[in-house]
C-alpha cells in the first residue's frame, strides 16, 4: 500500500550542534519505511553527507507530500513562509530553545513522527501576512510574515509617529517606539512581550500592539483577519519595518506599509493528543506555582 506521505523533505538549522546526527537518523528512519527523502540543498551541503537527494525549496514544493523542520521556531517559520504557497503540511521537531511551533521534543521525535506518518495526527492551519512598502506609487519592499510585521525606530533614535488606517478608515496617529501587527501564531512572540493578548490559532483575527506608546491610552486591539492595515511613517529618525525579523532599513518619512492576510495558509501537523494549552503551560511556565514570601 502506498503511504500517504510518499515523499518527505527535511530542512535543518544546520548551524546548531547535533543537527547533523539527528538529520541522518531521520533520513534512515524514513528510508526504512520506504519513503522518498529530499534534503533541502543548503542543509545537505552544510551537513556534508551523501546518500540522499538534494532539492531546492521550489523542488520540495513541487514534489514533497510533507516537510519536516529540524531546528527552532525560526527554522519552522522560514520553512512555512517558503512553502505556504505550495500547501505542503509541515512538522516541527524542536532542536532549538523555545519551541512554540516546533512542538515535537527532540527526545521524542521517532515516536511522534512515526505516529504522524501512520495517520495519527491533527492538522492546524495558520494565517500569514503580506507586507508591502509603498513609496508613492512604487513598491520598494515586500515580504511574507507568519509571526508579525513590526514598524519601529532604530535603537539610536527617539520615538516615531505613525498614522494608521484600517480598511481605509482613519484609526489614529501614534507616537511610540513601534507598532506590531501579529497573527495568532505571532501573538506569543514579540507582541506578547509588549503586553499584547494571546490569540488562539483557530481564531480568525490579528492583533495590533503598540510598543512603549507615548499615550497610555494607546492599547492593543484585536482586528478581524481580513482587515487591511495601512501604516504611514509621519515622523521619526531611522524608521524601519521587519517581517518575522527580516528587516527593511531604508524606510523613509511618507512611506506606507500595507499589511493584509496572505492568500494562503501554512498547515501544521501535530501528533495525536497535541494540546495548544499544554504548549502554553510548558513554554510560559503556567504550571509553576508562585513563590510565596515569608513576609
Catalytic residues: 73
Of the CA atoms within 13 Å of residue 130, those in its CB half-sphere come to 16
Comparing CA positions, the residue from 185, 240, 184 lying closest to residue 211 is 240
Comparing CA positions, the residue from 270, 243, 286, 262 lying closest to residue 101 is 270
* In contact, 212 and 197? CB cutoff 8 Å: no
* In contact, 38 and 85? CB cutoff 8 Å: no
Annotate 191-237 with DSSP letters as a single string: HHHTTPPPPPTTS-EEEEEEES-SSTT---EEEETT--EEEEEEE-S
Backbone phi and psi for residue 278, each to the nearest 5 degrees, phi listed first? -65, -40
CA-CA distance, 251 to 234, in Å (whole number)?
11
Backbone phi and psi for residue 7, each to the nearest 5 degrees, phi listed first? -135, 125
**Bridge partners of residue 260, in order along the sequence:** 130
**Bridge partners of residue 261, in order along the sequence:** 129
Grid cell at residue 77? 517559520
Burial 170-179 (b: 16+ CB within 10 A, else e): ebeebbbbbb
CA-CA distance, 101 to 267, in Å (whole number)?
11
Please give the distance of CA 63 from its chain centroid, rounded to a whole number.
23
Amino acid at each position: 500500500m502506498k503511504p500517504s506521505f510518499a515523499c518527505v523533505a527535511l530542512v535543518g538549522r544546520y548551524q546548531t550542534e547535533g543537527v547533523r546526527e539527528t538529520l541522518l537518523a531521520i533520513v534512515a528512519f524514513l528510508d526504512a519505511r520506504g519513503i522518498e527523502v529530499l534534503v533541502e540543498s543548503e542543509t545537505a551541503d552544510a551537513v556534508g553527507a551523501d546518500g540522499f537527494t538534494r532539492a531546492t525549496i521550489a523542488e520540495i514544493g513541487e514534489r514533497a507530500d510533507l516537510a519536516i523542520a529540524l531546528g527552532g521556531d525560526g527554522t519552522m517559520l522560514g520553512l512555512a513562509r517558503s512553502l505556504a504557497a505550495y500547501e505542503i503540511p509541515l512538522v516541527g521537531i524542536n532542536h532549538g530553545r523555545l519551541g512554540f511551533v516546533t512542538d515535537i521534543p527532540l527526545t521524542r521525535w521517532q515516536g511522534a513522527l512515526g505516529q504522524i506518518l501512520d495517520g495519527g495526527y491533527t492538522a492546524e492551519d495558520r494565517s500569514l501576512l503580506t507586507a508591502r512598502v509603498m513609496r508613492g506609487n512604487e513598491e520598494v519592499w515586500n515580504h511574507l510574515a507568519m509571526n508579525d510585521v513590526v514598524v519601529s525606530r532604530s535603537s539610536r533614535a527617539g520615538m516615531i509617529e505613525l498614522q494608521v488606517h484600517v480598511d481605509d478608515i482613519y484609526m489614529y496617529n501614534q507616537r511610540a517606539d513601534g507598532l506590531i501587527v501579529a497573527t495568532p501564531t505571532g501573538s506569543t512572540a514579540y507582541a506578547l512581550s509588549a503586553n499584547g493578548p494571546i490569540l488562539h490559532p483557530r481564531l480568525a483575527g490579528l492583533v495590533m500592539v503598540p510598543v512603549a506608546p507615548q499615550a497610555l491610552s494607546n492599547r492593543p486591539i484585536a482586528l478581524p483577519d481580513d482587515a487591511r492595515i495601512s501604516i504611514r511613517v509621519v515622523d521619526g529618525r531611522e524608521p524601519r519595518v521587519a517581517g518575522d525579523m527580516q528587516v527593511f532599513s531604508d524606510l523613509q518619512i511618507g512611506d506606507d506599509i500595507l499589511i493584509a492576510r496572505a492568500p494562503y495558509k501554512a498547515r501544521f501537523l501535530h501528533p495525536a493528543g497535541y494540546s495548544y494549552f499544554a504548549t502554553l503551560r510548558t513554554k510560559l511556565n503556567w504550571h509553576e506555582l508562585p513563590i510565596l514570601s515569608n513576609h
